[in-house]
Amino acid sequence: MTHELTILTYAGLLWGLQFLAYLAVGHGKMDFDWAMGPRDQEGERPGAVGRMHRALANHTEGLVLFAVAALVVSVSGQSTGFTATCASIYLGARLLYVPAYALAWQPWRTVIWLVSFFATMAMLVAALI
């Protein structure tokens, strides 16, 4: 398995841990009937619960793009030291993004997100050249 696929696996595990953290933070703070119902209306996610939910949604979106990059690089046989480093940078940034969002670190949350985004984009560009 390439380093990029290993990092993708870790990023998937991070998503699972992030989901559990969101549930833990939200325990007792959200309307149980809404959570168990069809969620036709948007529910209240106060404070840190809302930030953890948005961080999870952001990770879901970023993970899709990173998965494309990791798979393209690995399947095409273009895994290099550069793409492996980009993958590691992506994961490191995603690890920092959770507390940055949950604790409302400004402007660092955006800076950290940009690092993960550009690391992923660099992997995609590397696959094309």
What is the DSSP-derived secondary structure letter of residue 127?
Answer: H
Helix H segments across 27-107? 32-36, 47-75, 81-102
Domains of the chain: 3-27+47-128 (1.20.120.550)
Distance CA 97, CA 117 (A): 12
Nearest by Cα to 2 from 88, 94, 70: 70
Q: Tell me, what amino acid is at 115?
A: V
CA Rg value for the chain:
16
pLDDT attached to residue 84: 98
pLDDT attached to residue 94: 95
pLDDT, tens digit only, all 129 positions of the chain: 999 999 999 999 999 999 998 888 775 555 555 455 555 566 566 667 778 888 899 999 999 999 999 999 999 999 999 999 999 999 999 999 988 988 888 899 999 999 999 999 999 999 998
